[in-house]
Amino acid sequence: MGPIGIFDSGYGGLTILHGIRQLLPEYDYLYLGDNARAPYGPRSFDVVYEFTRQAVVKLFEMGCHLVILGCNTASAKALRTIQQHDIPKIDPERRVLGVIRPTAEVIGSLTHSRHVGVLATEGTIKSESYNLEIQKLHPDIVVSGVACPFWVPLVEYNEADSPGADYFVKKRIDEIMRKDPEIDTLILGCTHYPLLMPKILKYLPAGVRVVPQGEYVAESLQQYFVKHPEIERQCSKGHTARYLTTENTDKFKEQAQMFLHEQVEVENVTLG
């Protein structure tokens, strides 16, 4: 038995971890942030795949039987290849899941107009992963996406509440609503974006629903365990969470405080 691994290129996956721990607090968790090589958003498919594969292998080596890619870019650019190509060779009994599919599954029950918007990093928008997953499950839904290149730095430089953030948030909200005025549901397709929620709600037209991913990924994991008890049995239950980073541990502690509102202990690891 071992912990549930949560991987992200940076800090955003902490919002996914927080959502999962709220619903499933009894399990052990091991969070790995590849902060030294973040952000993944502008990187090529090949580079994101290789970095993500290294992180998954590291978490497997540290005892995880299940790894969740709490990163939209990694889920969009690397998940399928790792599931189909790497897992059969590494260990067919282990599993890697992403954050896009759970959001796509739930979106059909949230939108009434059947017009959905996605705000995400450049890499996630270019991959069209949300479009493909949503259309696969809900062919009648129209999906429009807009990249928000400055939103992650706003969060990571602790500027999410600053007056300067208003310009960048309003600009992208206006852009996506111009693209499709019928949008009634907006997916935050990057795990950093929930920290901009006050600004997003400020500029979003009345009646448009915002979908942060944490709670939906958590509910999807709970259902996954019901369907796959053999995986659930491999996940240890000690109510613990450990944190690993490829970057400076003090910097990670500072950022984690902002995402989790608690003090954490952090260890340094090397990937590659």
Set 64, 148, 190, 235: catalytic member: 190
- Burial of 108-129, coded b for 16+ CB within 10 Å and e otherwise, reads eeebeeebbbbbbbebbbbbeb
- Is residue 235 among the annotated active site residues? no
- Is residue 190 among the annotated active site residues? yes
With tokens 């309003």, the residue in question is 170
Name, in order, each residue with C-beta under 8 angstroms of 110's C-beta and a sequence gap of 6 or more: 185, 209, 211
Set 64, 71, 148, 235: catalytic member: 71
Residue 223 has a CB neighbour count (10 Å cut-off) of 12
DSSP per position, the chain: -BPEEEEESSSTHHHHHHHHHHH-TTS-EEEEE-GGG---TTS-HHHHHHHHHHHHHHHHHTT-SEEEE--HHHHHHTHHHIIIIIHHHH-TT-EEE-SHHHHHHHHTTT-SSSEEEEEE-HHHHHHTHHHHHHHHH-TT-EEEEEE-TTHHHHHHTT-TTSHHHHHHHHHHHHHHHHH-TT--EEEE-STTGGGGHHHHHHHSPTT-EEE-SHHHHHHHHHHHHHH-HHHHTTB--SS-EEEEESS-HHHHHHHHHHHHSS---EEE----
- The catalytic residue positions are 71, 190
